[in-house]
Amino acid sequence: MHVLCNRLDRAFVAYQQEFEEKAVEVLRSGFYVLGKELQSFEQEFAQFLGARHCVGVGNGLSALNMAVYLLGIGKGDEVIVPANTYIASVLGVTLNGAVPVFVEPDAYYNIDADLIEEAITDKTKAILAVHLYGQAANMEKIMEIAGKYNLKVVEDCAQSHGAAFNGQQTGTFGDVGCFSFYPTKNLGAFGDGGALVTDDADLAEQARIFRNYGSKKKYHNEIMGVNSRLDELQAALLRVKLRHYSEFLEERRQLAAFYEANIKNPAFLLPKVREGAETVWHQYVVRVKSRDEVQQKLKSRNIDTMIHYPIPPYLAESMRYLNIPETRYPLAGQYAREVLSLPFYNGMTEEEQEYVVESINGF
Ligand SMILES: *Cc1c(COP(=O)(O)O)cnc(C)c1O
């Protein structure tokens, strides 16, 4: 048996007829960009989250970049970011000329909210919360600190569609929530896609203008803008997926419960869920000391795994200008050496999961 780390075809096959019918409908409609499918998706996704406004854009990084820009954060401003995240979270900050200030992770792989205050300076303008691996960051504490210091809050929800904290959806706590619909994400499209959500009508309007060359009325360009739109085909297919999203999430819960109940090897540290948090299990990430060796052993049994992420963002080559010493964030460094993402995807069979569990327990 060959177990891949992720398989996108299985989620497609589960609702193949609906996806295909919708795709043909859009292809035949003659409308491909900024049409009614996008409008409907924006309404439905905002409603799903309990947010007032949703603006579809080209991808998740674009949403982050736009959020930081539209909140007026730029050159010389500092933004607090987690030291343990995907590089795109940080690029939304650096593309605007702002300076990322990293903070160590907690036991749930998200920013350690107890360490945020000591990272605040008089240049700090915002906190970027990332809900990594599908689990909400400690939003209660983060919002409390933001209120105390009058900081903006941007949420990177690229991995957390539908995740909640104290019953409230991620993406609805801060000023802006940024989503990605890249195919591997929980709510994944069949190409690139992204969205911003906000309760601020002005900000939503600005984002709508910004994503379309800075123009509200055709050929009247009020502000500098970009071309970053969620196209009709992706929006339409995302609507199909959103209709079935609670089923996808329930299946992910069951897959996670199976690993949790059956992995018995004490060398493997299984993921924990924060009190008050409802995770959507974007990845199933375990930690193990001899990670590279374990990954090789699994590979020799035809089990593919991944590492999210082997190089923390503050050590990326592109971030070298920040001059951050390698040992500056020891916990983030340790996570980068020990994390391992097990095969985990909608449509994973019991035989596949059993084979992974058996292999791990046999080491
Ligand atoms: C995927 C991802 C992004 C970027 O989204 P894209 O649509 O690929 O641009 C940003 N942040 C996190 C945490 C992600 O996982």
* Ligand 1 pocket check for 130: Cβ under 6 Å: yes
Span 345-362, average pLDDT: 98
User: Does residue 100 contact residue 93 with C-beta atoms inside 8 Å?
Assistant: yes
pLDDT tens per residue across span 273-299: 999 999 999 999 999 999 999 999 999
Q: Which of 270, 264, 307 is nearest to 287 (CA)?
A: 270
Measuring from atom 12 of ligand 1, which residue has the nearest CA? 158
pLDDT tens per residue across span 79-103: 999 999 999 999 999 999 999 999 9
- What is the β-pairing status of strands 168-169 and 176-180? unpaired
* Ligand 1 pocket check for 94: Cβ under 6 Å: no
pLDDT tens per residue across span 143-192: 999 999 999 999 999 999 999 999 999 999 999 999 999 999 999 999 99
For tokens 């900050």, name the residue: 93
User: Does residue 1 contact residue 351 with C-beta atoms inside 8 Å?
Assistant: yes
* Amino acid, single-letter form, for residue 362: G
Ligand 1 centre from 60 Cα, in Å?
5
Q: What is the pLDDT of residue 221?
A: 86
Q: Which of 261, 99, 127 is nearest to 270 (CA)?
A: 261
Ligand 1 centre from 267 Cα, in Å?
30
Separation CA 159–CA 76 (nearest Å)? 29
User: Other C-beta atoms within 10 Å of 317: how many?
Assistant: 6
Domains of the chain from N-terminus onward = 9-243 (3.40.640.10), 245-361 (3.90.1150.10)
* Ligand 1 pocket check for 179: Cβ under 6 Å: no
* Ligand 1 pocket check for 133: Cβ under 6 Å: no
One-character DSSP codes across 25-41: HHHHHS--SSSHHHHHH
* Ligand 1 pocket check for 186: Cβ under 6 Å: no
CA dihedral for 312, 192, 165, 126, sign (positive or negative): positive
Ligand 1 centre from 222 Cα, in Å?
29
User: Does residue 94 contact residue 121 with C-beta atoms inside 8 Å?
Assistant: no
Number of the ligand 1 atom closest to the C-alpha atom of 85: 13
More confident residue, 217 or 137: 137
Geometric angle at alpha carbon 75, from 71 and 77, rounded to 5°? 65
User: Does residue 96 contact residue 74 with C-beta atoms inside 8 Å?
Assistant: yes
Predicted confidence band of residue 243 (pLDDT cuts 50, 70, 90): very high
Instruction: Report the largest interatomic distance among the alpha carbons of the chain, rounded to a whole angstrom.
Output: 66
Q: How far is residue 361 CA from its own chain's centroid?
A: 30
